[in-house]
Amino acid sequence: MPKLTIDGKQVEVQAGATIIQAAEKLGIEIPRYCYHPALPVSGNCRICMVEVEKQPKLQIACYTKATEGMTVKTNSPKVLETRKTVLEFLLVNHPVDCPVCDQAGECKLQDYYMEHGKYSSRLVDVKVKKEKKAFSIGPHVMLDQERCILCTRCVRFSDTITKTSELGVFERGDHSQLDVYPGKQVDNKYSGNVVDICPVGALTDKDFRFKCRVWYLEKTKSVCPGCSMGCNITVEWDKSRPHQLKNGRVMRLKPRLNPDVNEYWMCDEGRYNYHFIDENRIEHPQINDQLVSWPKAIGEIAQEVKALKDAGRLDRIGVLASAQLTNEDLYVVRKLFKENLNGAQVDFRMPQVPGFRDDFLMRGDKNPNTVGALTILGSSDDAQTIVEKAKNGDIDLLYVFGHDLVKFFGKDTVEQISRKVKLFVFQGSNINETCRYSHLILPSSVYAEKDGTFANCQQRVQRILPAFSPLGESKGDWEIVSSLAQELGISIAYKDSQAVFNDIAAAIGAFGEMSYETIGDQGLMFKEINREYGKYFY
Amino acid sequence: MEKVVTRNFGTPNSQLLEVYVQNRGYEAARKALTEMSTVDVIEEIKKSNLRGLGGAGFPTGTKWSFISTTTMKAKYLVINGDEGEPGTFKDKYILEQDPHALIEGILITCYAIGSHKAYVYIRGEYLKAIAVLQGAIDEAYKAGYLGEGIMGTTFDLDIVVHQGAGAYICGEETALLESLEGKKGFPRLKPPFPAVVGLFGCPTVINNVETASCIAPIILKGAEWYAKLGSEKNGGNRLFCVSGHVNKPGVYELPNGTTLREIIYEHAGGILEGRKLKAIIPGGISAPLLTPEQIDVKMDFDSLRAIGTMAGSGGIIVMDETTDMVWAAMVAARFFAHESCGQCSPCREGSGWIYRTIRRIYEGHGRMVDLQNLPGIINNVGGNTICAFGDAVTMSIGSYVSKFRSEFENKVKESSYAQTNH
């Protein structure tokens, strides 16, 4: 464990750590372009050079190992002067077209120029022109060769992370250019990540281009709901200028570092899966295509429940909950339907065909909270039996959470259910085929509007935070269910999601002693891993 | 004076095995393989003061001794015959005139370091050299000097000839390894050095063609004999390639430490038409210029370093009084801009910037502000890059600007743009 001194401060690091890592431990950020902690070191940008005692030349901090007794200066006059000259070289043939560049505002050339550059240009000659500007190199990625500083982060990403090797640096000297190999496109399941790691505006995202200046973006920590991996993300949104995106609020999703889950990455499937947040939403309660008030809609359901309760036929209630719901939602569903309306049939497992999976981040189970649902609701009832009963007229109240039953069971079955069931409730965020056949529709909020937790396939409980308030009249799923409980005279009242979670932590062993504070923004593993759950993950 | 590397030059059919063996060819290899331990061979080379003749001057025996004797990995010898340094053409002659001397040197080196495969990386344009060497290798296989069980011993060796594809940077040893592995010729970060992680991740020795061609004579005649040929810490002779404004350009084998004056005026026949000397590049285009008052310097690694230049590849380019030094600087700068591999930002962007600025001055569009900025821009490349190419840009081009500043100033004074800043 070598001890070294950086800018007069002592630090002890793991053997093999580099100066840039040792400095990070002290909170000193050495500038970097080519260095990325998840990629092999390339050492080409030269911006991270620091002074190491007894070394005549400056050393690159990204590659030089920290050794015992080493003395490093990251801000000596020589270091600062060299940083400035490296920036000058990086910018000498750069088009400086920031006004039309999407990266502006989060560009490391801009940032370091303001911090370490601030020189007047000495260039007299014409800049080197490169061929490809605003050039598509894949379904999601645009290339601008002139803006590229040839740090090769994207090349190393495609060589070592996706191992698809679509990108390379061609030609030599100041005519070097980043490009795809002949006949190749950056068309892999993780292509959006090259835009994230590009420190400049060379690689931009087709989905985000020209939509929003980054300094307008608000950022909310969340978890991708696209599969059971639960990659940590940031929801980046802008509510102030709705004309930008047909009233859309979410501008993009970005991966958020979690070394135990997704590291720095997320898949394209998850990254571009946000349009549903603002499109095709259910905004108001409806009864048979008529807009109604919340009390009216809830009252209607309560009446049916009461009738069944009075008749002693709670078994004629079928609830199809969902692994898209948060633990808080599921827990309130459990309290009402499993604990208070004992006899109601409750399950969440649909006959789903596994989606695409790989051995990196993508999981075949496209639900974010299967582990939470299994833990909270258990698996004693069976969704397919409930559907079968509904079809045969053995269910009077069918309460569906978001599922498109048409997709799973076919139009004919759902049509028949619609005829046989007395009250067919659909509670969800987005319109689907099943809505047409339901009698009563309740608008619920999407994950980006919710405060809550998901448990991923590793059995890690992770927090999602609300980016903005629910659209229209929609409400959180647990809030809707608890207002139904109140209508029934059953006391399930919580101040907020945290209060629900505290109850979960007290009642269910796997969540034992967890709280929103201890979960933090990196998640917390179940106290005991349930090996039985393995069979649900593909 | 006793010739070492060029001893067989000029002999009819010197490239043929039967001619080579008549002049004690492969005796040294037999001696090494049958009478000497690997440690003995390395010690002998250390004692000879043989230093790497590709340009860096690193002691050869010491380099060999870095190869682990306990590793389970394969070990490789790579011969650098890329010879891209402008002003340098000695390896071409060795390959064409005496390929068996190289093969014998390779055989002894591989025996010493425990390698069973050697690669000879030859500059792509050297078509004749490649053909001659391949012919010699084929002959050596037939005669049992290569292949399995060489000369009745248990030692096996294969030699592969690889043709370069035209990048100067592939003469830099780690870029050469990348190229040999089938990748783009980008110099590697060091450490690890090739002796630890070299070709295909295995311990590797990289020697220049001329260095390897010295091995057999040293083993045959002894380290002391070789050491005495040269100067104190720089054993043996060296091939000097003299070109430019001299009466007799060519390759001269002379002892290390011969003065530059002797090389130019005695061996190369003096300056063309008796004109005055103006500047000399002493060791390939990367070496900083010398001026006429410096030509009494001894041409060895340490003496040249002491006066701020380098022995480099032994390529001496002589420029007489008719040379426009701004033009000469532009030509050198164009070469560097063209050959920078483009990996490190200071060298990639700086080499082109420097070239375009000097070209503009040469073409009569210079500004006074260029003369203020140029030394700084040149200086900012060196010391800040992965390989020595960036240092070469700074040292070499910097010397034109500092030593012949008045010529640059005169060019700018004539320019109608002189007083503009943009």
Question: Model confidence over B251-269: pLDDT tens digits?
Answer: 999 999 999 999 999 999 9
Contact state of A174 with B373 under an 8 Å Cβ cutoff: no
CA angle, corner B108, sides to B105 and B113, nearest 5? 120
Q: What is the residue type of B287?
A: A
Residues in chain A with CB shorter than 8 Å from the CB of B369 are: 122, 124
- At A242 the pLDDT is 62
Chain mean pLDDT for chain B = 97
Q: How far apart are CA B256 and CA A480, in angstroms?
A: 93
- Strands, E assignment, A140-268: 141-143, 167-170, 177-180, 203-205, 218-223, 232-237, 250-255
Q: Identify which has the larger pLDDT, A168 or A533.
A: A168
Among all chains, which residue has been given the structure tokens 């001055």? B361
Q: Which of B302, B227, B47, B21 minimizes the C-alpha distance to B143?
A: B21
Whole-number Å distance between alpha carbons of B333 and A89? 16
Chain centre to alpha carbon of residue B322: 28
Distance (Å, whole) CA A250 – CA A235: 7
Is there a single domain that holds both residue A394 and residue A527?
Answer: yes
Task: Answer yes or no: is pLDDT of A536 > 90.
Answer: no
Average pLDDT of chain A?
A: 96
Residue ending a domain, choose from A49, A76, A92:
A92
d(CA B88, CA B239) in angstroms, rounded, equals 10
Nearest to A417 by CA among A318, A314, A277: A318
pLDDT at B242: 98
pLDDT value, residue A98:
97
H/E stretch holding A256 reads none
Q: Is the pLDDT of residue A243 over 70?
A: no
Start-to-end Cα distance in chain B: 59
Angle at A62 between CA A61 and CA A68, to 5 degrees: 55
Work out how many domains chain A is built from and give that number: 3
CB contacts of A88 in chain B (<8 Å) are: 380
Rounded to the nearest 10 degrees, the angle between the axes of helix B99-113 and helix B38-47 is 120
Asked if residue A317 and residue A256 are part of one domain, the reply reads no
Between the two ends of chain A, the Cα-to-Cα distance in Å is 41
Predicted confidence at residue A528, as pLDDT, reads 86
Q: What's this model's pTM, rounded to 2 decimal places?
A: 0.95
CATH number at residue A360: 3.40.50.740
Query: Average pLDDT for residues B372-377, to the nearest whole number?
Result: 97
CB atoms near residue B318 (< 10 Å): 26
Please name the residue that has the structure tokens 């002892």: B255
Query: Whole-angstrom Cα distance, residue B228 to residue B236?
Result: 7
Q: Which residues does chain B have within 8 Å of residue A125's beta carbon, measured at their own beta carbons?
A: 353, 356-357, 360
The pairing of strands B237-244 and B315-320 is parallel
> Which pLDDT band, with edges at 50, 70 and 90, does A239 fall under?
confident
> What per-residue confidence (pLDDT) applies to B345?
98
- Average pLDDT for residues B146-160, to the nearest whole number? 97
Residue B265 burial (C-beta neighbours within 10 Å; 0-12, 13-18, 19+)? middle
pLDDT of residue B421: 75
> Chain B contact for A19, CB < 8 A?
no
Looking at A258, A277, A296, the residue that finishes a domain is A277
Give the pLDDT of residue B384: 96
Domains and CATH numbers, chain B: 17-229 (3.40.50.11540), 237-319 (3.10.20.600), 325-414 (1.20.1440.230)
pLDDT at A83 exceeding the cut of 70: yes
- A131 shares a domain with A36: no
Local confidence band at B329 (pLDDT 50, 70, 90 cut-offs): very high
Domain span at A350: 286-536
Which residue's structure tokens are 């050297």? Answer: B126
The verdict on A82 and A148 lying in the same domain is: no
Note whether A315 and A450 are same-domain residues.
yes
Asked if pLDDT for residue B23 goes beyond 80, the answer is yes
Do the beta carbons of residue B171 and residue B285 sit within 8 Å?
Answer: no
For residue B377, give the nearest of A94, A85, A118 by alpha carbon.
A85
Q: Which residues of B are less than 8 Å from A150 in CB distance?
A: 342-343, 345, 348
Whether A312 and A249 map to the same domain: the answer is no
Mean pLDDT within B269-286: 97
Q: How far B372 CA sits from the closest chain A CA (Å)?
A: 10
CB A420 within 8 A of CB A392: yes
Cβ–Cβ under 8 Å, residues A185 and A268: no
Are A173 and B369 within 8 A, CB to CB?
no
User: In this model, does residue B109 exceed pLDDT 80?
Assistant: yes
Confidence of residue B101 (pLDDT cuts 50, 70, 90): very high
- pLDDT average, residue stretch A341-355: 94
Is the pLDDT score of A126 beyond 90? yes
Q: Are residues A356 and A328 in the same domain?
A: yes
Is A124–B384 a contact, with Cβ atoms under 8 angstroms apart?
no
> How many angstroms separate the CA of residue A85 from the nearest CA in chain B?
7
Rounded Cα distance, A306 and B340, in Å: 83
| Cα–Cα distance, B230 to B217 (Å, whole number) | 14
Chain B residues with CB under 8 Å of a chain A CB are 167, 169, 184, 189, 337-346, 348-353, 356-357, 360, 367, 369-370, 373, 377, 380, 383-386, 422
Between B325-339 and B345-362, two packed helices, what is the crossing angle to 10 degrees?
150
Q: For A132-182, write each residue's pLDDT tens digit.
A: 999 999 999 999 999 999 999 999 999 999 999 999 999 999 999 999 999
pLDDT of residue A248: 84
Q: Assess whether A156 and A122 both reside in one domain.
A: yes
Set of chain A residues whose Cβ sits within 8 Å of the Cβ of B167: 172
**How distant, in Å, are the alpha carbons of B14, B88, B241, B310, B314 from that of B282?**
30, 11, 10, 7, 7
Side-chain-side CA neighbours of B166 within 13 Å: the count stands at: 5
Q: How many distinct helices (H) and strands (E) make up chain A?
A: 15, 23
The amino acid at residue A8 is G
pLDDT tens-digit series, residues B224-255? 999 999 888 888 999 999 999 999 999 999 99
Q: Domain end: A253, A277, A301, which one?
A: A277
Mean pLDDT throughout A304-316? 97
Confidence band of A408 (pLDDT split at 50, 70, 90):
very high
**CA separation for the pair B327, B362 (Å, rounded):** 6
Eight-class DSSP state of A444: B
Q: Which residue in chain B is spatially nearest to A41 when comparing CA positions? A: B189
Q: Does one domain contain both A242 and A364?
A: no
- Return the structure tokens found at A189: 């399941």
Q: Same domain, yes or no, for A419 and A328? A: yes
Contact A123/B at CB under 8 A: yes
Strand partners, A141: A205
Do the Cβ atoms of A142 and A195 come closer than 8 Å? no
Q: Do B342 and A124 touch (CB under 8 A)?
A: no
Q: Identify the weakest region by mean pLDDT among A247-256, B68-77, B162-171, B258-267.
A: A247-256
Task: Identify whether residues A113 and A63 lie together within a single domain.
Answer: no
Running DSSP on this structure, what letter comes out for residue A470? P
Beta strands in A172-278 (DSSP E): 177-180, 203-205, 218-223, 232-237, 250-255
Q: How far is A246 from chain B (nearest CA, A)?
A: 43
The ipTM is 0.95
Q: Do A93 and B352 touch (CB under 8 A)?
A: yes
Q: Write the CATH number for A57.
A: 3.10.20.740
Whole-number pLDDT of residue B420: 83
CATH code of the domain covering residue A174: 3.30.70.20
Pairing of the two strands A3-6 and A71-73? parallel
Residue type, A521: D
DSSP helix/strand/coil, B361:
helix
Cβ contacts of A64 within 8 Å, gap of 6 or more? A18, A19, A50, A52
Query: Minimal Cα distance from B420: which residue of A?
Result: A124
**Beta-strand runs (E) in B34-188:** 76-81, 117-122, 158-163
Ranges assigned E (strand) in B46-94: 76-81
**Among B285, B243, B282, CA closest to B393:** B285
Residue A136 is predicted with a pLDDT of 98
Residues A166 and A231 in one domain: yes
Output phi, psi for A250, to 5 deg: -80, 130
Q: Identify all chain B residues contacting A57, using CB atoms and an 8 Å cutoff.
A: 383-384
